[in-house]
Chains A and B, each alone.
Chain A
């Protein structure tokens, strides 16, 4: 293992090399896991403010300037609240679930490339690691639902697991596209491969699919039937109070932002941008892109109504999954054909290599892939419109018939 950065400084100062290595790794771990923890405090404020503005309210504005300290007040409230464990609950699992839930989100940050030089760990299998870690969240929800020993909690947990397991499929199929284009599963390589051209221009459909299915993974509207307040009281976390509830809450908020960052890394060039050689500027680029995508997700959450469980399932299995398979096959096939024609930048071994390619050398390939995506999208959008119209007409007919039946009943009486 090489010794750079803090490790190098400590080794120069006469520390033991092994100890210096350990210390620098330790500091790195604390920084990478601490950053999301601090971020989430402000995210909760941002989310409440944005939601308020969209709904024509003011949002938190009493504690501190612009209500900035509201979250701290909430945090203190959660911390000093009584910590209740239901008598019939499975104590061990009940307490382990919130920790697992939060950990599954924080662990994702280990593979997020912040700048060209700073990343928790540049795993060879970064993209796969993200999917594997995110699947632990499912387990946390299931454990929480069962351990609470409450029927609403269990029903909520069943819904979540059905939702998460189904939406993982289009998510992974969309994730394969950047991996395929970069020729690597490492997050750092994926960002480097977007130096000339962001992947969103080559695979806009994959971007949309990733966005929609990650929105579902976080359990946000229109997919918030997990905690549908009006039907399930609060869903899987109904029995949780105090900071244990706070951990589920923070995990959810952080997950949304994490998905924004991941979307930026996978499709919008991550830290790429003018002057990205400077670590601080690169970090700001990633922050800007991630925040904009995060805003879109908040926007959706606050404008769309909740779907029913059968609608959510139909939407996934009859629409997202087939579409994601088709777009993956089309892109993979086209990349193969373009490779034969010679429009794809290759390295010496004949593998796809976009990291050192310029904007111009990637342009033909991008155009072809983009038009292929548009060709898939056009009939799909048309089909969606017709399907929507049909469903609406059926509902209207049903309403009209019900009104007519009511009127007839009233007359007959």
Chain B
């Protein structure tokens, strides 16, 4: 069953960081602290990527989510009217509870169901091969791999960036 080794311990530590950070985000009355907790949570996710031996994704997680997106969050938060001691609450608690419960159930089912209803005849053996970052890069850039979706995604991002610049520009700035 559950083998208690280094990876297992790391998994539980990072899960705790991720969930604890999430708890901090939703319970904090101070918006700035909330964003900091969000970063803690994202950091935990980066750790989970590491336990899955995907160091590239872990580094990108920190670089993009903590280093860029969360920093933008702090900017956005500072533009809001009241930062600290939020008193306004969202009152429709029952809808929230039901929605969150349903989502969680779906998630648990999605993870557990394949274990129960698996067809042993069609199961693939667990691969010993460790996928390295190089393989990931080759898969993204080679013709047989995912080069088309990769390029489409970059085109979409470029379009979004140009759109942001156009919107942010003053009208008289031509």
Contact = CB atoms under 8 A, between A and B. Distances in A.
B15 interface: no
Interface stretch (B28-36, B86-94, B106-114, B117-125): B28-36
Interface string B25-46: 0000010110010010000000
Contacts of B63: 128, 131-132, 135
Interface string B47-77: 0000000011001101100111011001100
Nearest to A127: B59
Contacts of B67: 132, 135-136, 138-139, 168
Contacts of A132: 59-60, 62-63, 67
Contact of B55 (A124, A135, A154, A161): A124
Interface string B129-157: 00011100000000000000000000000
B56 A128 contact: yes
A138 B36 CA distance: 13
A165 B68 contact: yes
* Most-contacted residue by chain A among B32, B63, B133 (CB, 10 A): B63
B30 A90 contact: yes
A142 B62 CA distance: 16
Which residue, A128, A133, A161, has most C-beta atoms of chain B within 10 A? A128
Contact of A125 (B56, B66, B71, B74): B56
Contacts, number: 59
B71 A142 contact: yes
Contacts of B62: 132-133, 135-136
B69 to A, nearest CB: 11
A284 interface: no
Nearest to A143: B36
B78 interface: yes
A146 B74 contact: yes
A37 interface: no
B59 A139 contact: no
Interface of B: 30, 32-33, 36, 39, 55-56, 59-60, 62-63, 66-68, 70-71, 74-75, 78, 132-134
Given A90-B33, A128-B63, A129-B59, 5 more contacts: A93-B32, A123-B55, A128-B56, A132-B62, A146-B74
